[in-house]
Every structure is written in C-alpha cells, then in structure tokens.
C-alpha cells in the first residue's frame, strides 16, 4: 500500500512584474529604467509597473497621470497581450512537466499541487527551485515561489522573498506565521473587510484567531469559516484544475466624460458585442447581467439583474444592459468608465443545472 503524505505540498508561482519584465526583456533600452505598461494621457491606467517604477510608488491600476507625478522619468509602453499570452503558455508548459494539478489564477500566477509529482524530486522546495530555474532558462524571466501545505500559505510565502526568490512555510510554522501578520496582508481579505475587522479590534492574525466562530459568523456571514480556518493556518481548498469561469465581461474608459444617453447607449452596444463575442467563443451564455458605472470622481455604482432565461444574443444583452443603465441618466456627474458583465454562466442551448451550495462564494 502506498503511504499518503501527512500534508499536501502546494506551490504558488508568481512571475515578477510580468508585463513590464517581458517588455524589458524584449527591449534592452528599457532595462533598469522605471517602466509602466499601459495607456498614457488623462484617462490612461497603469496595467503593470517595473520594480524600478515601484520604488517611486507606482502601482498597477493607478491612473497614469498619478504615476507620472510620482515618477517624472516614467516610461510608458502599450500592452502586448498576445506576447504575454504566448509567454504564459511557455510557463504553463513548464508547470505541466511536474504535475497535472495546476490552477491558473491569471497569465502570471498559478497554484500547483505537487503532493504526487510526475518527476522524482526530494521535496516541494526542490520542485519550486527547478521550475524557477527552467522559467529563467526558457523565457529569460524570473519568478517567485511560495511552498506550503495549503493554498493560503503558499500565496503568502510567494510574496515573502520577491522578486526572484522563494520561501517555505512548513506545517510547524503555519499558525505562528499567520499570527504575526496584519489582516490586510491576508490574501482574500480586501481593504473593505480589513477596515471592518479593524473596527472590531481585529488587526492581526492572532486577533482573528481569538475570535469565536459565532462572532465571525455574525459579522462576516459565509466567509466566517474561511477566516476562522486561515487564522489557524488551515485552508482545505483544493487546487482546482480547469476551474470553471464565473463571468465574462468588458469595460471601456473614455478620453472624455460621457454625459448624454445617446452616447452611452452606443457604447453599451459596442460593449455588448464584445462580451457576447467572448461568450460565443467559449460556447457560454448567462442569466445575470451586471453594469458598472464609474464617475469622474472615481466613485462607482454596480447594478445587476438575474432573469429566468439566459441571454440569447448581442441585441438581448444590450437591451438588458440598457435597462440597467437608463435609471442612471441624467448622471449626477461625468461618466469616465462603463462595463458590462455576464455571469450565472452555462453552456449555450442547455437547461440550467440544479443549483448546488458552495462552501465559499
């Protein structure tokens, strides 16, 4: 009988400043210089920043004008998503040499379960090092890795020695490592939830561990079980291979604010066509349509509606999105971004599957 390991062996691999590093790799003139990938101009947004730019406080999702104020010598290059996807495919090919259990999170990061690796390595730490070495050799890029016995801790560990490093959190270390961290550094706890925790006197992992489950349930609902577990270094979530897509969407940021309904209606038509084309490519439709409206003061609203029948085509999607957007007009201030998302996904021309309860929403 094969002996089962006492703990899973999980690796989180995260490419270092991925988009910016690809650009610096391909253009030697950009190396060692503060670089942002993204759009220039009043409405431009930073998609990625090199480590040289991050020293000045430049971050992804930052308005380009803010980034330029922080770093006057900042260079901008437009994104080349076709190149990034090709490099990502190379990296994922490397992953597949070690395990079939791969959960991509984006083009530049993934979880790997190497509890039963395809190649005979002495430890998950050795596998992580081998993967990083191959990434450097075959792509000319660097990656950081976190190694632990669950996904939550592996993700924390990969941030610990960035860039171009790796860190291991063993079962003996897990609970104590979490106890010392501020809750805002926990993957899965965003700024709004961290602020709510602070208001309850929960500032560190140790504070979180001291909370009764009943109190967490009262304040955080279905997420309480997850928070209760991770405060103790426990996370039973599996590495999900071929994790089903939850939504399909598109959005557009405008060079000039939108104020009138005809212009907004035309944009909704264009976005609906883009979203439906993506749905068609994947053989999907959905029952929930959501719109996002971001104003010129960066405040935003999100409105959604779920129907019995799934979206049929581009026209149907546009009609549903326009019905959600119409009450927002006339807008209280200029609109700088509109977005449309389809969720509640299912294969086209199929009946809805029976609803199942999920442990985590």
- The DSSP symbol for 189 reads -
- Residue positions in the annotated binding site? 14, 108
The angle formed by the CA atoms of residues 13, 99 and 167, to the nearest 5 degrees, is: 30
How many whole angstroms separate alpha carbon 154 and alpha carbon 157? 5
Chain-centre distance for alpha carbon 129: 24
E strand or H helix that includes residue 118: none
Q: What is the DSSP string of 333-344?
A: S-EEEEEEEEEE
Residue 77: other Cβ atoms inside 10 A: 18
Verify cis geometry, omega within 30 degrees of 0, for the bond prior to 26: no
Q: Which of 52, 109, 185, 309 is catalytic?
A: 109
109 is catalytic: yes
In order of 154, 173, 194, 209, 335, the CA distances from 179 in angstroms are 16, 10, 15, 8, 43
Residues annotated in the binding site for Mg(2+), as ranges? 14, 108
What element of type H or E holds 286?
Answer: strand 284-295
- C-alpha–C-alpha distance, residues 166 and 187, integer Å: 17
Among all residues, which ones are annotated catalytic? 109
């Amino acid at each position: 009988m094969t002996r089962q390991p006492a703990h899973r062996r999980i690796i989180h691999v995260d490419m270092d400043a991925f988009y910016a590093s690809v650009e610096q790799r391909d253009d030697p003139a950009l190396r060692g210089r503060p670089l942002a990938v993204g759009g220039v101009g009043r409405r431009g947004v930073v998609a990625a920043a090199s480590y040289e730019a991050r020293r000045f406080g430049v971050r992804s999702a930052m308005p380009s004008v803010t980034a330029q104020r922080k770093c006057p010598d900042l260079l901008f290059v437009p994104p080349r998503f076709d190149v990034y996807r090709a490099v990502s495919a190379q990296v994922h090919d490397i992953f597949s040499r070690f395990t079939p259990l791969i959960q991509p999170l984006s083009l530049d990061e993934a979880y790997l379960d190497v509890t039963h690796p395809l190649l005979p390595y002495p430890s998950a730490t050795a596998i992580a090092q081998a993967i990083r070495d191959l990434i450097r050799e075959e792509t000319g890029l660097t990656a950081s890795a976190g190694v632990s016995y669950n996904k939550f801790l592996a993700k924390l560990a990969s941030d610990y020695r960035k860039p171009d490093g790796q860190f291991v959190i063993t079962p003996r270390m897990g609970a104590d490592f979490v106890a010392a961290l501020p809750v805002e550094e926990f993957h899965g706890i965003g700024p709004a939830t961290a602020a709510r925790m602070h208001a309850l006197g929960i500032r560190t992992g140790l504070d979180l561990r001291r909370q009764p489950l009943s109190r967490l349930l009262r304040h955080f609902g279905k997420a309480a079980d997850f928070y209760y577990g991770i405060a103790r270094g426990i996370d039973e979530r599996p590495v999900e291979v071929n994790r089903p897509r939850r939504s399909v969407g598109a959005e557009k940021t405008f060079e000039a604010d939108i104020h009138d309904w005809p212009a907004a209606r035309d944009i909704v038509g264009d976005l609906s066509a883009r979203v439906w084309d993506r749905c068609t490519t994947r053989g999907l439709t959905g029952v929930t349509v959501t719109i996002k409206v971001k104003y010129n003061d960066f405040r935003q609203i999100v409105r959604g509606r779920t129907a019995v029948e799934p979206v049929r085509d581009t026209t149907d999607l546009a009609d549903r999105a326009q019905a959600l957007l119409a009450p927002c007009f006339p807008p209280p201030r200029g609109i700088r971004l509109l977005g449309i998302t389809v969720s509640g996904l299912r294969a086209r021309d199929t009946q809805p599957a029976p609803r199942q309860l999920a442990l985590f929403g």
